[in-house]
Amino acid sequence: MDASVRFGTQIIGALPVIVQYFERLGLGAIIDEVVPWEGGVPLGTVTEIMIANRLLNPQALYRIGEWAHKAGLTDYYGVTAEQLNAASPGTIASA
């Protein structure tokens, strides 16, 4: 094994349980169906990520994308931290 190989660690905590609960509720799909939205990331996805943030790390964040990346949510939902950061609170509030 080459000594230059690096491994990344993600602490996911209760994330698998929370994501499974969102799926069982169909939360993202309901939000996407009911709320008109033209953002780059579906509003249901953004909402699920923001709720997961409040459940797993209940503190205010200015740029949720970095937290979502560290928590493994960007990989799970197939979005980037930059896409999530672009969905600013002002953008979401106008939906």
Q: Give me the pLDDT at residue 93, please.
A: 46
4 pLDDT more than 90: no
79 sits in the region (left: phi over 0; alpha: psi -120 to 50; else beta) called beta
CA distance 42 to 3: 41
Which residue, among 80, 70, 95, 84, has the nearest Cα to 13 in the 3D structure?
70
Mean pLDDT of the 37-43 span:
87
User: How confident is the prediction for the chain on average, in pLDDT?
Assistant: 84
9 pLDDT more than 50: yes
Helical segments of 1-95, H only: 15-25, 27-34, 43-56, 64-71, 73-77, 81-86, 89-93
Q: Give me the pLDDT at residue 88, please.
A: 60
Mapping DSSP to helix (H, G, I), strand (E, B) and coil, where does residue 28 land?
helix
**pTM of the prediction?**
0.78
